[in-house]
Each structure stands twice: as C-alpha cells, then as structure tokens.
Amino acid sequence: MSNANSDAPRETRRSGIRIIRAVAPYLWPADDRTLRIRVVLAMVMLVSAKLIAVSTPILYKGAVDTLAGEGVPPLALGAIGLTVAYGVARALNVGFQQLRDALFAPVAQRALRRLALETFRHMHQLSLRYHLTRKTGGLSRIIERGVKGVDFLLRFLLFSIGPLLLELILIAIILTVLFDWWYLLIVVGVLVSYVWFTFAVTEWRVKLRREMNTQDTDANQKAIDSLLNFETVKYFGAEEREAQRYDGAMRGYERAALKTSYSLSFLNFGQSVLITSGLVGVMVLAAIGVQAGTLTVGDFVMVNAYMIQITVPLNFLGTVYREIRQALIDMGEMFDLLEQPSEVVDRPDARELQVAGGEIDFDNVRFSYDPAREILRGVSLSVGAGQRVAIVGATGSGKSTVGRLLFRFYDVTGGAIRIDGQDIREVTQESLHSAIGVVPQDTVLFNDTIRYNIAYGLDDATQEQIEEVARAAQIHDFIRSLPEGYETQVGERGLKLSGGEKQRVGIARTLLKDPPILLLDEATSALDTDTEQEIKSALDRAGQGRTVITIAHRLSTIAESDLIVVLEAGEIVEQGSHAMLLARRGRYAQLWNRQLADESAA
C-alpha cells in the first residue's frame, strides 16, 4: 500500500512534465517567426513589470522617511516627488503587465486553435472500433476540458507562477541585503511550509476532482444519450425514468462536489494561517528594529509592503496551483486521446488507388473483432467490373463485416482484399474512400440544409450538379415543393425528413461523389414496402456503370443481381443467380420462402 501511495505523486509529476513538454512546441512555433518575437517581447515586459514592482516599496519607504524626518530621500526627491514617483511606478507595473498579455494573446489563441484542430483531426483518424466503444458525449467533454486546461495553463503558469517566483527571488535578495538574514529565514520557512501544505492537500483534492469529473461526464453522457433518443423515450413514456436516471448521476456529482468544496475550505484556512504567521513574524522583527533605532519607520513600512506584495499573490497561488493541477489532469485526458494509436494506418510507401474497371477480389479473407470469435472464415469472392453482387445471410453471418472491411474500417486478419489487383492495405485510405460510395441502412444527415447535405458528396459542388443528382435520386421534385426548397433545414440527424427522404438525400450525395464502386449496406431494410420500391428504383439508377455490392436483408430487392452470395457463420455456402439458387432448394431458397411467408402473414 505504501509503495502505491509513494508512486502516485511520482506518476503525477511525470504526467505533468509530459504534458508541459507536449505544449511547449505550441508556445514556440518553429514555423512562425512573428509569434516567437511576440513570446520574447512578452517575457521582456514580464521582467520589466517585476523589476518595477519590487522597486515601488523603496520609493514608498523614502516618502515615509522624508515625512518623518529620517534618512536621506532617494533620487534627491522630496516627499511629494517620491509619492508621485511611487504612483508612476505602480501605473507602469500595471501597464507592462497589460502589454505583456496583449503581446502573448495571439500566441495563446493560435496554440489553442492548433491543439483543438489536431485533436479533432486525430479523432477522425481513430478506428471505427474505438468510436463504437467510446461515448461521443464523453469524448466531447474531454476535448472541451482539455482545451480549457491548455488555455488556463498558458495564462497562469507563464504569467502567475513564473512572475511570482521571480518576484520572490528579488524580494528575498532585497530583504537579505537591506535588513538581516533572519527576515529571509522567516520568508523562506513560510514559503516552504505553504508550498508543502498546498501540494499535500491539493493531491488529496485531485482525487476528489477526478471523481467529480467522472460523475460530470457520466451525467452529461446520460443527458446527450437521452436527448438523441428523444423519440424512443416518448414511445415508452419513459420521461420520468430518464429524469430519475439523470438525477441519479447528478446525485453522485453533488456528493463529489460537496467533498471538493469542504476540502477547499480546509485548504484556504490552512494557507491563511501560514501566511499570517509569516507576516506577523517579519513585522515583529521590523518593529523591534525601529524600537532599537536600527531601522526607520520607512523600513517598517517597506517590510510591510514587501510582505503584502508576497502574500497577495501567494493566496492566489493556492487557487492557481489547484487549477493548474486540474488543468494538467484535463489536458492529460486530451493528450491520452491524441496518443491513442490509429488501428488502421497507411503504410509509408502507400500509393494512390488506381481504379480502371472496379473489379473486387476477396481472397481467403479471415477476420475477427475478438480473437476468441472469428467472424469471417476464409471468404473468397470475385466481383467483376460493373457487376451487381448481393451478399445475403442471417443476422450475425458476417455480411455487414464484408462492407466494413472493403471500406477498410478494419484490416483483415488473414487473406487479402484487392481492387483491380491492388491490395487495399497498400494504397492510401483517402484514395480508397474516394473510390467507394456507401449508402447505409440509416442515412444520418447533418443538422443543416438539404443543399449542404447533398453537397457534402463533393467540395464546391454547383447548384446544377446538386439538382442533377437530386433528380437521379428522385427527390428533386419533393425538395422544390418545400417552402424553402434546397435551403430547408433537416434538423438533428435529419429528423425533419422521413426515412425514405433521408435515404434519397443519402443516395444523391453519394452520386455527387461519383465513385466507381457502390456499397449498399442494407439501404432499404428500414423502409416500408412502398418506399422500398421507390428507393430501389433510385438505387438501380445510381448503380448504372458502377460495380455494386449490395448487403441485403430483404431478398426481393436483389433478385435481379448478377450474382447472389449466401453467407452462413462467416463462410460462403452458396452463390449464383436468383433463379439458380431457388432451383437448388438450398439455404437461399429457405430464406426466400421464409420472407414470402412473413410478407403473406403480414
């Protein structure tokens, strides 16, 4: 147990150093000389502000001594002149600080922008497996907290902790030179005790904050999940059930937040006791010196000014340290996300896929999501250029996995998939994806206009191109009948459109992409029979001149395919035309007769 506890702070420190090293290149961008100059100027302003800050109490002391008739005023200025100089110095101190912030702001904002963009891009590079196992709401909250953590670290680590350390060193030198080493001893003793107490209690509070973060993420995910499934909640009258589920998560957050609040009160009180003890100790020494005649009243005032100058930021340091500690945790989660390796990556020598006809070969393909359970067991299939091939089978037979492997959401664990003789693992993913158009079972649309969703298939698509593919998908007339036409908002996930309308929009944007290979992944299984026939007509038009692989649930939609492949437990058990397979009276005939019986019963 003791070893675990002693290792935790070491792990935390290593994590903090790792994160700071990761952030450093964004603060000193090698590709932007202007930003580097801004960093240097900001540091110059920082040092200038602190030099002025430690000189102002000396001017204050001179003014007091002059008024009390003690000592020789510095700079041969009278009491009024010293008072004015004191005011000017304070104004310059603030001015340099604000100039420092203004100079550094573009550096910080550029760093935040680059980090956020890099994280966003990396999330799109992660495998489908990762996204299926992680919750989108949780991921968005990790990125949000991580970027805020970087912002806080940039502002406070550089412009609070750093300047404070510089100021403490300068004040320690002044107290030792002008007074006595006892002053330094008291100040150092208080600082060491303060830092130890703050670090020790904060480490305890970090565990409480982690728990609070976990509860916050859980509550946020439950809220997003419930709202995304709004219709399902309504169907089952589960509003109160969802409210209770959300309240349960918030109850856990409430408990964690209260523990955090109580620990904060204890930390603040302890820090106050330590700071006050140091202030009183130094002031007592100065008072003894004034009574003995070795110090002037101005010295007493200057010592008081220096101690206040130290204690004010030290009180703030407690809050800053806690926030920096939390920021490091939040940033750690984000950098862990950035360091998450992509499961499917391009080879260093990957070349562009060259599609001549669109011939596809599955050569003894084996695949498993889990090593303990193989999904595809040596699938071999040849799809000729321009051919229409349908893959059918019962649920769990592996037919949808074939489509995911073709698009290279996953890499095969055995065998190979080739397009026009090129192994898809040896070509770039970008060129592979551009060659394959997918119409999924449930087309998900962006919460934007119909125009935007169709144009998503091609950058800078013209209105003529958009309308052309809309006609081909048999949805142009419907869009024109809407009050706002192509500018109609489709709503969250396209909920303002019917299933058939969403599918047509999906077909249109795939046609706009104009891929040589078309993958229809149960594109009509979620639709009613009438709508299915209409969509089938649009899909038939979409497949003209292309190699088409249809993963089908309803067999009536694929009867006219050139080749039908029947999968069973990850293996091809039959293949041939519709008529040939029916005549064979095998597995396909069983599936066909069962669907006919189900439709008759319905």
Q: Which two tokens stand for residue 485?
A: 């036409």
Contact 138, 221 (CB under 8 A): yes
Query: By mean pLDDT, which of 167-181, 236-250, 360-374, 399-413 is the weakest?
Result: 167-181
Q: For residues 389, 393, 396 and 397, what is the CA-based torsion angle, rounded to 10 degrees?
A: -70
| Among the listed residues 111, 59, 62, 67, the one whose alpha carbon sits nearest the alpha carbon of residue 85 | 59
Angle between helices 297-338 and 2-27 (to 10 degrees): 90
Q: What is the pTM of this model?
A: 0.63
Residue 329 — very low, low, confident or very high, per pLDDT cuts 50/70/90? confident
- Return mean pLDDT, the chain: 81
> Please, how many CA atoms are within 13 Å of residue 438, restricted to the half-sphere of its CB?
20
Q: What is the largest CA-CA distance in the chain?
A: 120
- Using alpha carbons, select from 377, 414, 419 the residue that is nearest to residue 398: 377
Q: Would you list the DSSP string of 472-531? A: HTT-HHHHHHSTTGGG-B--GGGTTS-HHHHHHHHHHHHHHH--SEEEEESTTTTS-HHH
What local confidence, expressed as pLDDT, does residue 360 receive? 93
Distance CA 38, CA 106 (A): 8
Tokens matching residue 392: 């059918």
For the chain, domains (ranges, CATH) are 116-338 (1.20.1560.10), 360-444+514-601 (3.40.50.300)
Alpha-helix runs per DSSP H in 293-343: 297-338
What residue has token string 């439709």?
599
- Residue-wise pLDDT for 67-120, tens only, equals 776 655 555 567 788 788 888 888 988 898 889 888 888 888 887 788 778 877
Rounded CA-CA distance 306/172 in Å is 10
User: 47: part of which helix (H) or strand (E)?
Assistant: helix 33-68
Per-residue model confidence (pLDDT) at position 426: 93
Task: Using the predicted structure, report yes or no on whether residue 363 has a pLDDT greater than 60.
Answer: yes
Q: Give the H/E segment covering residue 573.
A: strand 571-576
Instruction: Give me the mean pLDDT over the 536-547 stretch.
Output: 77
DSSP 273-304: HHHHHHHHHHHHHHHHHHHHTSS-HHHHHHHH
Which amino acid is it at 199? F
Q: Which tokens belong to 447? A: 């919460």
Q: What number of other Cβ atoms are within 10 A of residue 464's Cβ?
A: 7
Confidence of residue 165 (pLDDT cuts 50, 70, 90): confident
Tell me what pLDDT residue 137 has.
55
Query: Which residues pair with residue 388 across a beta bridge?
Result: 548
Residue 377 tokens, joined = 């067991």
Q: Is the pLDDT of residue 132 over 80?
A: no
Mean pLDDT confidence for 223-243:
84
CA–CA gap between residue 283 and residue 309 (Å, rounded): 14
In this prediction, residue 131 carries a pLDDT of: 66
**pLDDT tens digits for range 480-535:** 998 888 998 887 766 678 878 888 888 888 888 888 998 988 766 555 666 667 66
